[in-house]
Homo-oligomer: A and B are copies of this chain.
Amino acid sequence: MTAIVARVIVTPKPAVNDPQGITVRQGLATLGFGEVTDVRVGKYIEVRLDVRNEKEARERVEAMCRQLLANHVIEDYSFDVDTDGRSSK
């Protein structure tokens, strides 16, 4: 078995309201960051899993995104998989 780390990014679809993003933009403007034109806030999910190979990891993580990690009505997702050296920490 191979230790794999998958890094999943879930973002609100472009057409969907993002109140968190608006709040962060206003906060940044108040702090003097007037150059900011837009902020979108999403989720970052790091999943560690033991699978046979990267291909299996991709299939499983794709299934996780569809079933739990993302709400495909209002969110987009993307991910990459990598062998887990815990070196990125």
Contacts and interface: CB of A to CB of B under 8 A. Distances in A.
Contacts of A48: 36-39
Copies of this chain present: 2
Majority SS at the chain A contact face: strand
A82 interface: no
Given A35-B51, A60-B33, A11 B68 contact: no
**Category for how many chain A residues contact B:** 35 or more
B89 A24 contact: no
Given A31-B68, A67-B31, A44 B89 contact: no
Contacts of A38: 46-48
Interface in A26-69: 27-28, 31, 33, 35-51, 60, 63-64, 67-69
